[in-house]
Structure 1
Amino acid sequence: MLELIPSFVTILFGVVALGLSLRAFERREQGLLIGAFALHLLAALAQVFITRDLYGYGDMLTYFREGGFVADRMREDFVAYAPDALRLIVQQETQNLGWLNSASPATATMYGLSSWLHYLTQGSLYATCLLVAIGSFFGKLVMFRAFRPLFPPHLHRRLIAGMMWMPSIVFWSSGLLKESIAIIGLGLATYGIIRLTDSTSSTPRAAVALGAGSVIVGLVKTYILGPFAIAAGAWYYWQRGLRLSGGRALSLRPLHFALAMALAMTAIIGIGELFPRYALTNLVDEASRLQEVGQRVTGGSTFALSDTAPTSSSGQLAMAPMAVITALARPFIFEANNLMALVSALEMSFILGLLLLALYRRGGHESWQVIMRSPPLVFTLIFVVLFALGVGLTTTNMGTLARYRMPMLPFYMLFIVALLPARPFATWPRTRQA
């Protein structure tokens, strides 16, 4: 009963929010969105059962246990401990919880979020995961709503299925995990960057969405901001070039290229200043350190891209092709050694098959032309490749690989679905649909 009531209230809250949101979509899209919402709720329940009742350990349980300690203190003295819970979220020193300051910054954020979720749900892990799953669903919904006017109507249902129905996208965004929080921030940031490229949209609202989303992502998955900033700069670059040429051929000017790169580099340098662990000068050392840690751990799901962890930039770059392939296609079916790995392998084989089918149906030349005439596809391609490079280089376990790459998968699926149809795309600029 202690779990049932908070869970029911959480689901009711989500259903009401969904009902209000569906009015912005066509009837033929609403059924798929309702189905995606239901899948996220089921995945949240599965996350609790598998992590707590089946395995008995996991990051989610650690976050909830430590957050529960803070929540209990808040129930005893809210005025004294609530500020500390907020400080944890923004990775600041606490006054009464010094022992939590030794955690990694992103983990401290998760402790802070967990404390508030524990407090609001009266200690219900089911209700907490349901609330996170609802948040991640709406993060993807915001992302889809931003991309929706940029693609033909016949693609909209496929985009929903690709971005919100794939098993990994649903499952790994429906628990109390960093990836779940990151996808909420990515949805807001993507909405903001797309609206900022549209002269008819509200610039202040778009800027707020971009800023809020970037802060959320930066707190839990800082490394995502680098690929996102570079991809956003490329979007601006391609959009300006295509508008100048009337969409017929990319007409690029040095000024636009310099401005786009300056914006991207400013963002990357800013990330390094705020989060020194991810500064450009530390990226190679960080990748090498994570590879060494992974090589010391043995197990059925571990893997290594090389026998030793390279300590130079050239050594890391030499592994880049295999790292990207690993993040975008593995595990292969013959690498699956348990049920979870088999599901992941089947899913990635299906995605790889869709990509190859798209390239086959269009041909290499036409596929390239379609991408070059679509700033959204340039954005998703660059983001996916850079994200895959980072995850592929620093991950040494097939189980964590499926989870770590989840924030990239909605963009990857959008890219494939948009590339798959045989009918030609309209050229940029296109009239946005209401």
Structure 2
Amino acid sequence: MELTDLFLAPLYLALFYGLALWVRPQVTNVYTKPYFIPALTLKFVGAIALGLIYQFYYGGGDTFNYYVHTKVISQAFSESPSLGWKLITATDYDPDIARYIARMFWFYAKTEYFVVRIAAFIGLFCFNNYSVMALTFALISFSGIWAMYITFARIYPAAYKELAIAVFFLPSVFFWGSGLMKDSLCMGALGWVFYGFYHLFIERRSVVLSVVMGGLGMYLLVMVKVYILMSFLAPGLLWVFNENNRRIKNATTRMLLKPLFLGIGVVVGVVGATNLTAGDERFDVENIGERTKINQTALYERARDKGSGYNIGTIDGSVGSILRVAPQAVVVSLYRPFLWEARNPVMMLSALEALWFTVVTVRIFVRTGFMRTLRLIASQPLVTLCFIFSIIFAIGVGTNSGNFGTLVRYKIPLMPFYAAGLYVLQAEANKLKRPARARRTALSA
């Protein structure tokens, strides 16, 4: 961060808040309106805080690597706009821009350089200022996160306060998902995909917006972190079929069609995810076991001496070995690090979140009963989506991370869904208890 940040950041903040106040009446109602500006502010705070932490605590990192690349592209623009534009749009080596490519170690890294392209394009409108780019990434992320929230709130309006906590106010989510990072784009994209699925396939309204923004969200996920979309597709389609199945009035027809809908959802989701990653050396289904083994080993070795590594079992490169350690992967992603495993303030925040997830989950199962809780999850399509997506994603990141430092970043897409699922499940469990309490009161009277 530089001296210009002190002048440009407040100026653009005022512009962004003005835009937000102009948009707010169109995207809020009397219940959701109080959360709009506070949630946006938290995203802005997260974006700036992430930059400060990386600069003064870590002494560098990915967010500044992206910025270093944008500075090269900015310099190219100052020398020749055509060369700068070539750097933003180029997908392969070009002799005209060779001297710039030589200074960018991520030029041939598909996902990282895609983020650089977006950041560099934003930089054209803000003098390539780091803070403004970070705030813009936060704004992009917020647009999708707000779309996620209003979708949750539309499906289950009774829990709009709790859902706001799940989506906006989890520390790891607004910190890691707000700055000049891949994660900010992915959180925003996932929110729009969720919005698009619901409004296009279930509500069948806002069709144009759903197609455009949902499609853009899917494109961003494919380009940056395709495994998020892979994890969402099958649960998302199951959710669509479950919601539409509930609308069939005839109980016999509904019961007969439900297994068919579930089967179609699974098949389409798996085939879609497989085709999305065909030929990708990192995420192709045929390579996923070996890549998981490589990632876990490398990240574990990197963090073992610092005490932040974890070991969930042996992964030998086969899909079977991933399935064997899947339960441990779910536990480590959702309920760890434990408080005594935290080695720094960032890990302590993650540990507190994991403790909260543990306490709420255990409390629901104990108070409601194990089998009754499972039946509740299966009976509520939104809760089913939240938990299946969270479990699939937890297995993926839990087996690939190898250390808590990377895990805290990798797992943030599942956290709003898991927290929202817990809140809705808790509300449904409380509904079951009210009639029982009423009957006991009547009998005692």
TM-score after normalising by structure 1: 0.90
Counting only pairs closer than 5 Å after superposition, residues 316-395 of structure 1 correspond to structure 2 as: 316-395=322-401
The more displaced of 3-12 and 403-412 is 3-12
Q: Report the number of matched residues.
A: 420
Cα deviations by residue, 1:393-434 (Å, 9 ceiling, x for unpaired): 000121111111112111111111111224439xxxxxxxxx
Please name the residue that 2:14 is paired with: 12
Does the CA contact (< 8 Å) of 2:66 and 2:180 recur in 1? yes
Which residue of 401, 406, 419 maps to 1:400? 406
> What does 1:30-109 correspond to in 2, within 5 Å?
30-87=33-90, 92-95=91-94, 96-97=97-98, 98-99=101-102, 100=104, 103-109=108-114
CA distance in 2, matches of 1:20, 1:353: 40
Kept after mapping to 1: 8 A contact 2:227/2:283: yes
How far residue 311 of structure 1 moved from its aligned partner, in angstroms, is 2.1
1:228 Cα deviation from its structure 2 partner: 0.8
* Match in the other structure for 2:265: 260
Q: Using the TM superposition, give the Cα deviation of residue 281 of structure 1 relative to its aligned residue in structure 2, in angstroms.
A: 0.6
- Distance in 2 between residues matched to 1:418 and 1:251, nearest whole Å: 27
Which residue among 431, 436, 440 is the counterpart of 1:424? 431
CA distance in 2, matches of 1:199, 1:337: 46
2:290 is the alignment partner of 1:280: no
* Alpha-carbon offset, residue 124 of structure 1: 1.9
1-structure distance, mates of 2:355, 2:163: 19
1:123-163: per-residue Cα shift (whole Å, max 9, x none)? 32121111111221221101111222110x33001101121
Deviates more, 1:336-345 or 1:362-371: 362-371
Contact 1:217-1:224 within 8 A present in 2 as well = yes
Any conservation in 1 of the 2:39–2:168 contact (CA below 8 Å)?
Answer: yes
Separation (CA, whole Å) in 1 of partners of 2:16 and 2:4: 19
Q: Deviations over 1:202-261 (max 9, x none)?
A: 434322222111111111111111111111121133224323366898543554344323
Quick check: 1:37–1:137 contact (8 Å CA) kept in 2? yes
Q: Deviations over 1:166-222 (max 9, x none)?
A: 101110112111111101111111111111223541434322222111111111111
- Residue 209 of structure 1, aligned match among 205, 209, 213: 213
Q: Is the Cα contact below 8 Å between 2:137 and 2:185 reproduced in 1?
A: yes
Q: How is 1:296-335 mapped onto 2 (pairs within 5 angstroms)? A: 296-297=301-302, 298-306=304-312, 308-335=314-341
The answer as to whether partners of 1:357 and 1:420 remain within 8 angstroms in 2 is no
1:110 maps to 115
- Bigger shift: residues 121-130 or 221-230: 121-130
The corresponding residue for 1:431 is none
Q: Distance in 2 between matches of 1:194 and 1:401?
A: 29
Decide whether aligned partners of structure 1 residues 360 and 107 sit closer, same or farther in structure 2, where only a CA change above 3 A counts. same
Shift of 1:376: 1.6
Please, which moves more after superposition, 4-13 or 377-386?
A: 4-13
Q: 1:55 to 1:258 in 2, by over 3 A?
A: closer
Question: For residue 56 of structure 2, what is the amino acid of its counterpart?
Answer: D
The equivalent of 1:243 in structure 2 is 247
Aligned equivalents of 1:21, 1:417: Cα separation in 2: 28
Whole-angstrom distance in 2 between the partners of 1:335 and 1:43:
24
Which blocks of at least 5 consecutive residues in structure 1 are unaligned?
426-434
Contact 2:307 2:343 in 1 (8 A): yes
Contact 1:172 1:403 in 2 (8 A): yes
Please tell me whether Structure 1 or Structure 2 has the larger radius of gyration of its CA atoms. 2
Give the 3 Å change call, closer, same or farther, for CA 83–424 of structure 1 in structure 2: farther
Give the equivalent residue in structure 1 for 2:130. Answer: 125
User: Matched residues in 2 for 1:250 and 1:384: separation?
Assistant: 26
Amino acid at match of 1:86: T
Q: What is the alpha-carbon distance in structure 2 between the residues aligned to residue 112 and residue 329 of structure 1? A: 36
Given the superposition, is the C-alpha separation of residues 246 and 369 from structure 1 closer, same or farther in structure 2, using an over 3 Å criterion? farther
1:347-382 deviations in Å (ceiling 9; x for gaps) = 211122122223334333332233222222211111
Please give the per-residue CA displacement for 1:85-108, whole angstroms capped at 9, x wherever unaligned. Answer: 134xxxx22532544576421111
CA distance in 1, matches of 2:406, 2:204: 41
TM-score (norm 2): 0.87
Query: Which amino acid is 2:431 matched to?
Result: P
Higher relative contact order (CA 8 A, sep 6+): 1
Q: Is the 8 A contact 2:77 2:83 kept in 1?
A: yes
Paired with 2:251 and 2:108, the residues of 1 have a C-alpha distance of 50
Q: 159-168 or 296-305, which moves further after superposition?
A: 296-305
- SS of 1:278's equivalent? coil
Kept in 2, the 8 Å contact 1:64–1:118? The answer is no
- For the 8 Å contact 1:69–1:115, the answer to whether it is kept is no
CA distance in 1, matches of 2:116, 2:416: 27
RMSD across aligned positions (CA)? 2.3
- Cα distance in 1, alignment partners of residues 329 and 312 from structure 2: 10
1:415 pairs, out of 421, 426, 437, with 421
